[in-house]
Structure 1
């Protein structure tokens, strides 16, 4: 029981030292930004692949021009929204880097 209490006290003492390694400069956990960015990039690749497949299906004559244009427009809007989200995350990360560089060190 005493060992368990000692371990807990040591972990509590080390917690303030360890936590900055798991947070970005703006206070959001770094791993959540990276995970979100990876998910958005994967989704972007899926949308791009869908556009390529749609183009192939249209060229092969499997889709009418109207269906092709509607589907392509939908995929393009999805891609635009994804790119804006990806850019927003990149701007947040770059902004945090700029802010941290601009602050004087103590």
Structure 2
């Protein structure tokens, strides 16, 4: 009985860690992306685009409206290359821009 409870608690711990890391991107190994974002993209883009999540090397970035989405899709490869260069590794394979809160 006690062994069952211990396994159950361990699972709960794993679940909570998963939930917390999903809720706050700074818990992930790729948290450096948030630290260097403004520097890499510059103040004009940083004001209108904010990374919100990375999963399987796909970076989700929120923009305030579809106009920004379209504009940033044109430079997404450049941003991706600059991010990876600044981080010293291939952290981002693709950037996906979506309308959403900044």
**TM-score, normalised via structure 1 length:** 0.31
Higher helix fraction (1 or 2): 1
Higher strand fraction (1 or 2): 2
**TM-score, normalised via structure 2 length:** 0.32
Give the number of the structure whose alpha-carbon radius of gyration is greater: 1
